[in-house]
Amino acid sequence: MSYPSSIRMQGMMRPRAIELLAPAKNKEIGKEAILHGADAVYIGVAGFSARMAAGNSVGEIAELVEFAHGYNARVYAALNTIIYEHELPQVERVIRELYRINTDALIIQDMGILQLDLPPIPLHASTQTDNRTVEKVKFLEKAGFTQVVLARELSLAEIATISAETEVVLEAFVHGALCVSYSGQCYISHAITGRSANRGECAQICRLPFDLQDADGRIIQKNRHLLSLKDLNRYDNLEQLLDAGVSSLKIEGRLKDVVYVKNVVAAYRQRLDTIFSRRPEYVRASSGSSEIRFTPNLSKSFNRGFTSYFLNGRQRDIGSPDSPKSIGEFLGEVESHNRNCFSLKRAPLIHNGDGLCYLDKNGLNGFRVNRSEGRRIFPAVMPELSIGTKIYRNYDHQFESLLSQKTATRKIGAEIILREISFGFALQISDEEHCSYTCSVPFEKVAATKPQQENIRIQLSKTGETLFAIKNVKIQFSEEWFIPSSLLGEWRKRLVAGLLSARKINYRQRLSPLRPTTEPFPEKSVTYLGNVSNSKSRSFYIQHRSDVFQPAFEQVQQKNVPLMFTRHCIKYAMGWCPRETKERSGFREPYYLVTRQNRLKLTFDCRKCEMLVSLEDRQVATTTNP
């Protein structure tokens, strides 16, 4: 039951568990995310993930699940594509296999899944289900979802309102790439290339360069990435999000490499731990603590520049129109240059092999550092630079090399008690969550000739690469007894194995049996925006008192309809918002985004503060998918 700061249980308040949720392209990256502090990871299922290039087999996910559960961390399987009719039996089988291996939840988009014969596995509503209103989140909660991923576009006030009127666990993105369109409501990739974003195959049309033209064909801006957004960064907003009612903080990036995941997860873990240290009403959602062996720096990982997006209201500078590529960290401005080197106004530490970049009229340009001497930098090939050019580093060779090594360990604190009994010794190991294992060993006690307790503590504390760190060893002897170090080592291994088994036995997979509901869907008619692509999905909406007016766009492409809905407004970004100024742009609407192949018409719904994008001068072919 989610509240803005804590959870009320039988008249008392207990801390609210906060989950740091990390992406996993594969099981290896998932394990590193957990070691670096993630409380949960989400991983794609082959064939049904919204990142088709990041699919994993059930066997691979099972290995990650077993590793995660040792730390009481959770694994969520992403099946967040729309499903075609012939795929439904396969999806049902996969879900049962995921339940069998103790997967903690499914992240789904297609409502048809709720009509299948499901095991009692929790369901999370993907951001692809377009969760931006109280009414929608209430409906999903009553339909049986245990967690809802909120739309990235929501403000703190909107999130707080949803939290106040619902009890379902709320999940919000805090870092990573941004889709310019509301998730699940973008069809432009399929319309132009046949690759559907709702099927995990987005062609990223929004990252392309366009000419912005007015109704008379006059060019307003030329060759600019006007639909490309900066990357999300809410590092400084985490406490606000928690206070607004968010319990799961999600990092985007199931296509990102292990270095990216290590760096970003470690940064957010440390930030959250700092918050928890002074806000006892919040606690982490998994066990143990991570020792990070590097200094996280979000600017050193892939980014197009950062934005908090609409969290604190509309911001003008949320786009990255110069380039969709990573710009990295700002180093300084060019102070002087000659034919083979240049110097910066300040002297950051530059390494041989670093990748530097700068922006000019042609976009982002990059070059490698051959060597550096103080403030002087010698590129492998000298670029054409001007005094005052801003230089960025989007590849830090030393940082990348460091993070390719072992950079974190995660340990669960434990205590061992060794005491004598009539026929030998009894040992107990207990972890920080009061899970314990006890054993007794027959042993003929022999009095020691010299003190033994220090050696006993040393030998019993050598837990090595296991999950546990022995914080204390209590010895309860009536006199000094001699115990060989080799035997102490055997006892320690037995204790550690026993505690690990006990933790696995004590781990409880959350069960959430799905019960049929008839709560009315917030909209009486479902159009192509409902993404209905199978008979089960259609049945779901009918059961919830809504008519399916149109099938999914991927099945029958609707003509003359908006293909993208976005709160990013080009007029607002250029200072032409009619709600903020009376000044006119001097250009006649409608505006168009134009490439050699396509002409996109822009429509502005100022009442909703939304921009709609549709195809112009081209008939969208009607096609039917299986």
- Does residue 212 form part of some domain? no
Please indicate whether residue 625 or residue 463 has the higher confidence score (pLDDT). Answer: 463
- Does residue 199 form part of some domain? no
Bridge partners, 231 (sequence order): 306
In a shared domain, residues 398 and 466: no
Name the nearest CA neighbour of 433 among 290, 276, 277, 287. 287
In a shared domain, residues 415 and 399: no
534 to 50, 90, 319: CA distances (angstroms): 17, 14, 36
Name the nearest CA neighbour of 150 among 177, 178, 173. 173
CB 430: neighbour CB atoms within 10 A? 18
CB 347: neighbour CB atoms within 10 A? 13
In a shared domain, residues 399 and 438: no
User: What average pLDDT does range 586-600 have in this prediction?
Assistant: 94
pTM for this entry: 0.94
Bridge partners, 455 (sequence order): none
Q: What's 339's domain CATH number?
A: 2.40.10
Cβ 312 vs Cβ 158: under 8 Å: no
The last residue of one of the domains, among 403, 420, 454, is 403
- pLDDT tens, 318-361? 999 999 999 999 999 999 999 999 999 887 889 999 999 999 98
Banded pLDDT at 2 (limits 50, 70, 90): very low
In a shared domain, residues 21 and 152: yes
Token code pair at residue 323: 């380039």
By the 10 Å C-beta count (0-12 exposed, 13-18 middle, 19+ buried), 221 is classed as middle
In a shared domain, residues 17 and 164: yes
Q: What is the pLDDT of residue 50?
A: 64
pLDDT for 624 beyond 80: no
Q: What is the pLDDT of residue 6?
A: 54
pLDDT for 54 beyond 90: no
Token code pair at residue 15: 């801390």
- pLDDT tens, 292-306? 999 999 999 999 999
Q: What is the pLDDT of residue 243?
A: 98
The last residue of one of the domains, among 385, 403, 421, is 403
In a shared domain, residues 236 and 332: no
- Does residue 569 form part of some domain? yes
3-state secondary structure of 549: coil
- pLDDT tens, 140-152? 999 999 999 999 9
Strand order in the sheet with 591-594: 219-224, 210-213, 591-594, 599-605, 610-616, 564-566
Q: What is the pLDDT of residue 619?
A: 43
Task: State the Cα angle at 506 between 504 and 507, rounded to 5°.
Answer: 65
For 74, list phi and psi in degrees, rounded to 5. Answer: -115, 155
Pairing of strands 147-149, 123-125: parallel
**C-alpha 59 chain-centroid distance:** 22
- Does residue 223 form part of some domain? no
Banded pLDDT at 570 (limits 50, 70, 90): very high
pLDDT for 274 beyond 60: yes
Q: What is the pLDDT of residue 427?
A: 98
- Does residue 576 form part of some domain? yes
Q: Where are the alpha helices (DSSP H) in 101-152?
A: 134-143
Q: Calculate the average pLDDT of the chain.
A: 94
Q: What is the pLDDT of residue 301?
A: 97
Token code pair at residue 413: 């604190």
Q: What is the pLDDT of residue 52?
A: 66
Q: What is the pLDDT of residue 10?
A: 45
User: What average pLDDT does range 59-70 have in this prediction?
Assistant: 96
In a shared domain, residues 364 and 419: no
In a shared domain, residues 420 and 394: no
DSSP string, 75-91: EEEEE-S---GGGHHHH
- pLDDT tens, 313-327? 998 899 999 999 999
Banded pLDDT at 12 (limits 50, 70, 90): low
Cβ 490 vs Cβ 462: under 8 Å: no
Banded pLDDT at 620 (limits 50, 70, 90): very low
Q: What is the pLDDT of residue 316?
A: 86
Domain that holds residue 604: 525-616
CB 109: neighbour CB atoms within 10 A? 25
Name the nearest CA neighbour of 158 among 134, 129, 126. 134
* 129 DSSP assignment: G
Q: What is the pLDDT of residue 9?
A: 42
472 to 285, 417, 418, 420, 569: CA distances (angstroms): 24, 8, 11, 18, 59
- pLDDT tens, 106-123? 999 999 999 999 999 999
3-state secondary structure of 40: strand
In a shared domain, residues 81 and 65: yes
User: What average pLDDT does range 481-499 have in this prediction?
Assistant: 96
Q: What is the pLDDT of residue 11?
A: 47
- Does residue 98 form part of some domain? yes
Q: What is the pLDDT of residue 617?
A: 55
Token code pair at residue 475: 């010895």
User: What average pLDDT does range 438-444 have in this prediction?
Assistant: 96
Instruction: Kindly report each contact of residues 492-496 with a partner whose C-beta sits within 8 Å and lies 24 or more positions away, as own/partner.
Output: 492/416, 492/459, 492/460, 492/462, 492/463, 494/439, 495/416, 495/427, 495/429, 495/437, 495/439, 495/460, 496/429, 496/463, 496/466, 496/468
In a shared domain, residues 381 and 271: no
pLDDT for 612 beyond 50: yes
Give the chain's domain count.
Answer: 4
Alpha-carbon dihedral sign for residues 119, 124, 129, 132? positive
pLDDT for 158 beyond 80: yes
The last residue of one of the domains, among 371, 403, 435, is 403
pLDDT for 8 beyond 80: no
Q: What is the pLDDT of residue 110?
A: 98
Q: What's 255's domain CATH number?
A: 3.20.20.70
By the 10 Å C-beta count (0-12 exposed, 13-18 middle, 19+ buried), 107 is classed as buried
Task: State the Cα angle at 246 between 243 and 249, rounded to 5°.
Answer: 120
pLDDT > 90: what percent of the chain?
89
In a shared domain, residues 333 and 377: yes
25 to 44, 427, 623: CA distances (angstroms): 7, 41, 32
In a shared domain, residues 60 and 103: yes
Pairing of strands 74-79, 40-45: parallel
- Does residue 224 form part of some domain? no
pLDDT > 70: what percent of the chain?
96
Cβ 272 vs Cβ 238: under 8 Å: yes
- Does residue 193 form part of some domain? no
